[in-house]
């Protein structure tokens, strides 16, 4: 598959999980891909791994400049770096609120600002943000994380409106629970990891976790030529969790 031949993609948080799967898929489909991560050591051989902290504007600017110098431009930006938080509106410290918004929301702002001059020069510019089911469904004990992803959903729509006339499409994906190192860490921390896994699987009507490759497929679709008329949308990749109401009998 070479639908991304001649195009360059920047993927943040591509050292692990969903971002790693996205970078791998875009490279397999012909893109020149840069993986920006706090720890890019897991980057595949055909992907340019760059250390980058999306909370640090200088770090982001330097990484994007290096991508442009080495790969020639930016056609696709996947804003995927994110961190989680558990708690109710009462329990997370204000420092944690600031930290999670700094990564999950302002990280998108910094990376997009750095990439926009280059995206404007592309004839096939697309941005895809990794949002979450937490933006559209009320999940218990996820107040801070959900608020940050709600901001990502609204930011996606506003960015789509701002940049549509420049030829830059902006969309997001809303994954359900995805089997990534992040979720495996949560399971390991649970009192009964097996029971926790069964509960997470049962929460999705499909009865299983989403795979990182399935999210990567949706991101790649939104980033690519088949979605040329699609902007300002959120694509759920959640085993039916948002939209379906099943009954047992």
Q: Which residues bind ligand NAD (CB under 6 A)?
A: 12-13, 15-19, 37-39, 52-55, 80-83, 103, 130, 132, 175, 177-178, 180-183
Q: Which is nearer to ligand NAD, 167 or 203 (CB)?
A: 203
Phi, psi of 45 (to 5 degrees): -60, -30
193, 195, 196, 199 alpha-carbon torsion, rounded to 10°: 160
Tokens 């989680």 locate to 84
3-state class (DSSP) for residue 74:
coil
**Residue 74 Cα to chain centre, angstroms:** 17
Minimal distance in Å, beta carbon 227 to ligand NAD? Answer: 19
Residue 135 and residue 174 in contact, taking contact as beta carbons nearer than 8 Å: yes
Q: How many CB atoms lie within 10 A of CB 189?
A: 10
Tokens 């720890």 locate to 39
9 DSSP β-pair partners: 33, 76
Q: Which is nearer to ligand NAD, 2 or 157 (CB)?
A: 157
Q: Which is nearer to ligand NAD, 181 or 225 (CB)?
A: 181
Q: Which is nearer to ligand NAD, 20 or 71 (CB)?
A: 20
Q: Which is nearer to ligand NAD, 35 or 119 (CB)?
A: 35
Minimal distance in Å, beta carbon 234 to ligand NAD? Answer: 12
Minimal distance in Å, beta carbon 166 to ligand NAD? Answer: 25
- Whole-angstrom Cα distance, residue 144 to residue 76? 29
Minimal distance in Å, beta carbon 176 to ligand NAD? Answer: 7
Given the residues 34, 49, 133, 145, select the one marked as catalytic. Answer: 145
94 is catalytic: no
- Whole-angstrom Cα distance, residue 176 to residue 124? 28
233 secondary structure, DSSP code: -
3-state class (DSSP) for residue 228:
coil
Minimal distance in Å, beta carbon 175 to ligand NAD? Answer: 4
**Sequence-ordered strand ranges (E) for the chain:** 8-12, 32-37, 48-51, 76-79, 125-130, 168-175, 234-237
Residues designated catalytic: 145
């Amino acid at each position: 598959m070479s639908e991304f031949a001649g195009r360059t993609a920047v993927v943040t948080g591509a050292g692990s999980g969903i971002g790693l799967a996205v970078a791998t898929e875009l490279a397999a489909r012909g893109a020149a891909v840069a993986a920006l991560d706090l720890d890019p050591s897991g980057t595949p051989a055909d992907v340019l791994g760059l250390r980058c902290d999306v909370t640090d504007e200088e770090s982001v600017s330097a990484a994007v400049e290096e991508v442009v110098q080495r790969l020639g431009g930016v056609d696709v930006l996947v804003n995927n770096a994110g961190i989680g938080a558990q708690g109710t509106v009462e329990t997370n410290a204000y420092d944690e609120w600031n930290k999670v918004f700094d990564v999950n929301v302002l990280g998108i702002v910094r990376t997009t600002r750095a990439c926009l001059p280059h995206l404007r020069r592309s004839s096939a510019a697309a941005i895809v943000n990794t949002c979450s089911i937490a933006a559209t469904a009320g999940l218990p004990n996820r107040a801070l994380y959900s608020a940050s992803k709600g901001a990502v959903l609204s930011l996606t729509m506003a960015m789509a409106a701002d940049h549509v006339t420049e030829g830059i499409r902006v969309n997001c994906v809303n994954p359900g629970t995805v089997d990534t190192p992040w979720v495996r860490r949560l399971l390991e921390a649970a009192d009964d990891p097996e029971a926790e896994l069964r509960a997470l699987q049962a929460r999705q009507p499909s009865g299983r976790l989403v795979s990182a490759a399935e999210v990567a497929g949706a991101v790649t679709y939104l980033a690519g030529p088949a979605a040329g008329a699609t902007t300002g949308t959120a694509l759920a990749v959640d085993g039916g969790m948002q939209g379906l109401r099943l009954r047992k009998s």
